Amino acid sequence: MLRAIADVLRQIGAAIATVVTLPFRALARLFGGAAHSTRRTGRAHRA
Residue 34, phi then psi, degrees to nearest 5: -65, -45
Domain ranges of the chain: 1-27
Q: Does the pTM of the predicted model rise above 0.85?
A: no
pLDDT digits (tens, 9 = 90+) for 1-47: 999 999 999 999 999 999 999 999 999 999 887 776 665 555 555 55
**Residue 33 pLDDT:** 76
The CA distance from 25 to 31, in Å, is 10
CA distance 47 to 40: 11
CA distance 31 to 9: 33
State how far the Cα of 36 lies from the Cα of 13, in Å rounded to an integer: 33
